[in-house]
Structure 1
């Protein structure tokens, strides 16, 4: 049984990781990455730097990241102590907590490296991807605490045909997210003006910023189609039960994400609104990726035939 205290700790770690992820996006969108100069963990050589908007945003992001690291560490230690007493019951959450701790450390090191040695946009896009995985791990832990609220989670069988489909969608979704992060770090968002057309054309010239944004749009559309196909397949083979609801949530979120991308395009010339719509776009994709990873893990753990010895 999961205690309310541990569930609260897991939720706090998840919310903290979300704030870290959105804070990183805010740093990028406001060009505050150099707000503390080349110093880390200090800011311009001080614990409390001189006030500028850029230094405030950057240093606040570092502070939240540091507090989140402590929360994740406390969560991992708590789960490990429970795992030592009950290895079978806490194996799954230990995996989530350990993953959250590992990727939190990696993203912190990458963040420090970005300050000390300025990185290229492709590397900075990977930084966002690492943060996304760290958040997904904390989200999976929260989901597990609710599933195990009154004892071991309910076990049901998942048709084996689901896992390979979810795996391919998960890998593809990560590539789509990476491309979006790359566009943000290269400030290529203005490559396509208008939506759904790109600069008034169905297929624009595939080069530079325009090509990057157009490819991202097409990739996002294909992700939506892939998740629609996955939802229909899961509902068909599961009779509307099992993971159907999870796939439905993923489909709803990807549709919302596509339209938030359109909103992003319409507000690109308004700095204040663009900052809000950009964070909204990041928030939705964060939840979407977390749901997809939950689908992936559950379709693996609960698949039919798992654990059977070969004849």
Structure 2
């Protein structure tokens, strides 16, 4: 192996590792966002990008001006009360978001050499960077509008798009380097079932955000001390969300059935589908915990994060199933990097 090809392999390896780290960080960011929501810390920092006018948030009310409620409570109708735990939960969420943005930017820089042989890697890295920047700005609007429900939902949708863009970049960079078992027949049927499972999962996530908003409305009426009554006071959206999970389960069972029927060997695709099925079951179990055990705060961010993990696995499985299509636009399987 020449020194040039060795350098190429090292850069490829760096790109793939960085892409994986970036995806993991985005999922941690989604988990952090769920913790912010479940603990009611969304306005823990009433201003943006600083927090109570400071780059490092206060840890005690004595570090704030005596009239801080008047200063920061104008847009919150005077209902701002310093809570160091909620403040730091929100601030750590922001720091993680900034770190994720830096990782996506680094990924964009590392993807530049791919312009010579597979422009998709660079352009989708660029899309990821634009999307995460847009979502960061949207996060500031969420604070500015006092957690407007439609912006919170849009914030989540953009996070899903960031995950998809990054996973697509990863899939392209790994294409031709992993073995995928062939689907002998009915590949089109498996594609359609998996695609519909993704569509229904996105719908389920959106309905879930609506359920979360209805819980916020119930909290305003009953308070946190009446947690055990929250579920009983929810409207039809909760029951749609609960029942819809069975539809998603059926679609995943159908995918597993089709793959086992039309593949003679077990490989990456089978492993992905098995992991996907396990995640769906665990997701349903966390939903049961939320419904029948008084909506424990710890279960809420887990339930949300699992939903996005499921979407990610569905998308990867779809890409792996169609790995031959990903190879079509590649000039050569091993990218040749220009000298830097």
When normalised by structure 1's length, the TM-score is 0.78
Q: Which residue of 2 aligns with 1:48?
A: 56
Q: Please, which moves more after superposition, 59-68 or 40-49?
A: 40-49
Alignment of 1:135-146 (within 5 A): 135-142=163-170
Cα shift readout 1:174-223 (whole Å, capped 9, x = no counterpart): 000111122123326989x99xxx86xxxxxxxx7241111101111110
Pairing partner for 1:133 from 154, 157, 161: 161
Cα shift readout 1:139-182 (whole Å, capped 9, x = no counterpart): 4555665x45xx64446655233222222111111000111122
Pairing partner for 1:107 from 128, 135, 138: 135
Does 1:220 pair with 2:228? no
Q: How many Å apart are 1:240 and its aligned residue?
A: 5.1
Paired residues in the alignment total 282
Q: Which residue of 1 aligns with 2:254?
A: 229
Q: Which residue of 2 aligns with 1:83?
A: 114
Pairing partner for 1:24 from 33, 43, 49: 33
Q: Which residue of 2 aligns with 1:250?
A: 276
Q: How many Å apart are 1:138 and its aligned residue?
A: 3.4
Distance (whole Å) between structure 2 residues aligned to residue 252 and residue 96 of structure 1 = 29
Q: Is the 8 A contact 1:122 1:182 kept in 2?
A: no
Using a 3 Å threshold, how does the CA distance of structure 1 residues 298 and 131 change in structure 2: closer, same or farther? same
Does 1:175 pair with 2:209? no
Q: How many Å apart are 1:244 and its aligned residue?
A: 3.2
Helix, strand or coil: the match of 2:297? Answer: helix
Distance (whole Å) between structure 2 residues aligned to residue 229 and residue 116 of structure 1 = 44
Q: How many Å apart are 1:278 and its aligned residue?
A: 1.6
Q: Which residue of 2 aligns with 1:287?
A: 309
Q: Is the 8 A contact 2:135 2:155 kept in 1?
A: yes
Cα shift readout 1:31-84 (whole Å, capped 9, x = no counterpart): 1111121x21111222123222222111111111011101011112211x2312
Pairing partner for 2:189 from 148, 158, 161: 161
Root-mean-square deviation (CA), in Å? Answer: 3.1
Q: Please, which moves more after superposition, 215-224 or 280-289?
A: 280-289
Helix, strand or coil: the match of 1:171? Answer: helix
Distance (whole Å) between structure 2 residues aligned to residue 106 and residue 77 of structure 1 = 19
Structure index of larger Rg:
2
Q: Which residue of 1 aligns with 2:215?
A: 187
Q: Is the 8 A contact 1:170 1:296 kept in 2?
A: no
Helix, strand or coil: the match of 1:279? Answer: helix
Distance (whole Å) between structure 2 residues aligned to residue 166 and residue 275 of structure 1 = 32
Greater RCO, 1 or 2 (C-alpha within 8 Å, sep 6+): 2
Distance (whole Å) between structure 2 residues aligned to residue 104 and residue 117 of structure 1 = 20
